Structure 1
Amino acid sequence: MTPITHDESTPGWSAPDSLPPVVRHGSRTRREVALTFDADLTAHMRKRLASGEVASYANMQVVKELQRANVPATMFLTGLWMEEYPAETRYLAADELFELATHSQTHRAFRRKCFTLGYAPPEEMLEEVVRPIEHLRKTTPRYTRYFRFPGGCYDETALRTIAPAAVTVVDFDVVSGDAFCDSADKIVEQTLDRATNGSIILMHLGGPNAPQTANALPRVLDGLRAAGLTPVTLTRLLDGTTPQPSVPTGERPATTER
């Protein structure tokens, strides 16, 4: 088991002896939103890389578009992605525009029947959360303890099991639909139609699994600006808010692949 390091000053830290808080949005009174990007990588996806079937699961053009517009964002990185892309991870960590968070080690689900994802049994859940946090902590002093469940799927068992990791669970209230969407127009429309004060917007750094994200992003940024919404880091968005422990019901549109 990877040792758990605690630093209460780390953004997203929560008391390990209680149910982890869950956030789905920030303050509805401030004209701010958080752009969040999941960097998924599963064992299956890694095999596709090794075989040459897929060239890359790191769409760094998304990063360039954010840098070009000087727009901050929060990146949720899986442990496998960080292992596969150490240079890209260090590059993101070196740019103060970006805040880095985690998205499990192997992108397996923490609840059964979570779209097409594999399942991490309860005895492996805590390691799935702690291992990428420690990887990130050793990469940058600006790491966080924000954590997003693969597929957005979890239940009370998962929350109780990962409590010792001392994380804040980050959900979302706007799904861009970019995970497998081949229409930049639709991504822009879905994002801007739903974004409002305090929204946490879900997008991806998923290479071919998010084929139009970089093409849609400039128009998303223009649309947010036109609506008077300012993108900020997750830490900024959540400043002054009080996350509450909660257990979800139902499922969302699929955002990930096995």
Structure 2
Amino acid sequence: MPAAVPATQSPAPATPPASAPASAPPVTARPGIGAGLPGATPVGSLPPVVDHGPRTGNKVALTFDADMTDAMRRQLRSGAVRSYANLKIIDLLERERVPATFFLTGMWVEQYPALTRRLAANPRFELANHTYGHLAFTPDCYGLPRVPEREMTADVARTFDLVAGYGGRQTRYFRFPGLCHDRKALAALAPLGLTVVDGDVVSGDPFAKSWRPVVRAALTGVRPGSVIILHVTEANAPMTDEALPHILAGLAERGLEPAPLSEVLGQG
């Protein structure tokens, strides 16, 4: 079983603060729909929060958050940014046959359906949940607008439903924006039977100006069972594709091997 540890917060969010979007349409959570998937937990129980897997063996998990907000979508449509999908990262992972787990926001999936199909088609990639529109689930979460408490369950259920439509290696893993959560937020997700995954290695890639600090942060303190947090959002994490080859080389030098998150947590 994965080791449950207190949540830690990343130094900065990959998503700029934005005005809260209009309420999402009502979504009926379907408890038990993820039964048997990695990360599935008893419906109605407080979700466990994990930072890493067992400190045995040599496996680590590369996890990539795919953020998208209303503000980011407006930037795309206006042409202010080119893309929030870093294809170079995916190309490299595919070319080198590297396993990875992608925490997808529902808005990102809607923006990039073809790319989501590509991720789902790769047997080395796992798909996980990062909320619908990257809203905060607690107050004072890096300036992110907050999802109303009454909408928390539906927000996450909606994203699971969106991602499930693409098939592939589905999971019941979930990551809060900014890693910000409290007991109220966890209780809101109890009907969904999931596992909350934070991480013990924060790369700091959002808005990095150079790839070197990202590599240093990703390799400092990495150990067997580590869960490394990276981003696949090109405009908000522009150095990640340059850092990734060096991260992979550094892991190999340390005798560590990337594996799907479910395997690292002992649930694969």
TM over 0.5: yes
1:141 positional shift? 4.9
**SS of the residue 1:154 aligns to:** coil
What does residue 3 of structure 1 align with? 28
Residues 166 and 240 (structure 1), Cα distance of their counterparts in 2 relative to 1, 3 Å cut = closer
**SS of the residue 2:235 aligns to:** helix
Separation in 2, partners of 1:144, 1:48:
30
Residue among 120, 123, 133 paired with 1:106 = 133
Separation in 2, partners of 1:240, 1:149:
20
Give 2:173's aligned amino acid. Answer: Y
Residues 67 and 44 (structure 1), Cα distance of their counterparts in 2 relative to 1, 3 Å cut = same
What does residue 122 of structure 1 align with? 149
Separation in 1, partners of 2:35, 2:236:
35
Residues 10 and 240 (structure 1), Cα distance of their counterparts in 2 relative to 1, 3 Å cut = closer
Counterpart contact for 2:121–2:168, Cα < 8 Å? no
Separation in 2, partners of 1:138, 1:25:
28
Residue 178 in structure 1 maps to residue 205 in structure 2: yes
What does residue 213 of structure 1 align with? 240
1:157 positional shift? 0.3
Give 2:28's aligned amino acid. Answer: P
Q: Which runs of 5+ in 2 are unaligned?
A: 1-25
What does residue 232 of structure 1 align with? 259
- Give the count of matched residue pairs: 241
What does residue 70 of structure 1 align with? 97
What does residue 189 of structure 2 align with? 162
1:142 positional shift? 2.6
What does residue 132 of structure 1 align with? 159
Give 1:71's aligned amino acid. Answer: V
**SS of the residue 2:52 aligns to:** coil
What does residue 223 of structure 1 align with? 250
Counterpart contact for 2:60–2:228, Cα < 8 Å? yes
What does residue 198 of structure 1 align with? 225
Residue deviations 1:208-245 (CA, integer Å, cap 9, x gap): 1001000010010000010011110001011169xxxx
Separation in 2, partners of 1:79, 1:58:
14
Q: Which moved more, 1:133-142 or 1:149-158?
A: 133-142
Question: Aligned-pair RMSD on alpha carbons?
Answer: 1.2
Q: Return structure 1 stretches of 4+ with deviation > 6 angstroms.
A: none
1:190 positional shift? 1.1
Separation in 1, partners of 2:169, 2:240:
26
Q: What TM-score does the superposition give when structure 1 sets the normalisation length? A: 0.91
Q: What TM-score does the superposition give when structure 2 sets the normalisation length? A: 0.87
Residue among 116, 119, 129 paired with 1:92 = 119
Residue deviations 1:27-84 (CA, integer Å, cap 9, x gap): 1122111000000001111111111101110001111111122110000000000000
Q: Which runs of 5+ in 1 are unaligned?
A: 242-258
Separation in 2, partners of 1:131, 1:106:
11
**SS of the residue 1:38 aligns to:** strand
Counterpart contact for 2:123–2:168, Cα < 8 Å? no
**SS of the residue 1:36 aligns to:** strand
Aligned-pair identity (%): 47
